[in-house]
Amino acid sequence: MRTLKLNEETKNNILESLLKRSPNNYGEFEGRVNDIVTKVREERDAAVFAYTKQFDGADISADNVLVTDAEIEDVCMMKNFISIINSKFFIDSFKAIYSNS
């Protein structure tokens, strides 16, 4: 996993990478993403801390994490972009495009 500062260039690079992926795998990704989103909605910070430990190996908690105003602004900027990526419409559209190629 890599961390990127979201700007127009990185947003375009992410979208370009997504377009290169096979649409046959989207169902698998969609299921995994939905499971993670559901767990975070239900368990909130505890789920985020657990996934951070699982994926990044970092042992974080509410006692040792501070989110800055700038980081919150970055998340707000990414919100619409992430919604598009995770939407069923987006996935179905790419399945249709690739199946007609």
Q: What is the mean pLDDT of the chain?
A: 79
Q: What is the pLDDT of residues 68-78, one digit of tens each?
A: 888 888 887 77
Q: What is the pLDDT of residues 52-101, one digit of tens each?
A: 999 889 899 989 888 888 888 888 777 766 666 666 666 676 676 666 55
C-alpha to C-alpha distance for 60 and 83, rounded to whole angstroms: 26
Pair 48, 40: CB distance under 8 Å? yes
To the question of pTM greater than 0.75 for the whole model, the response is: no
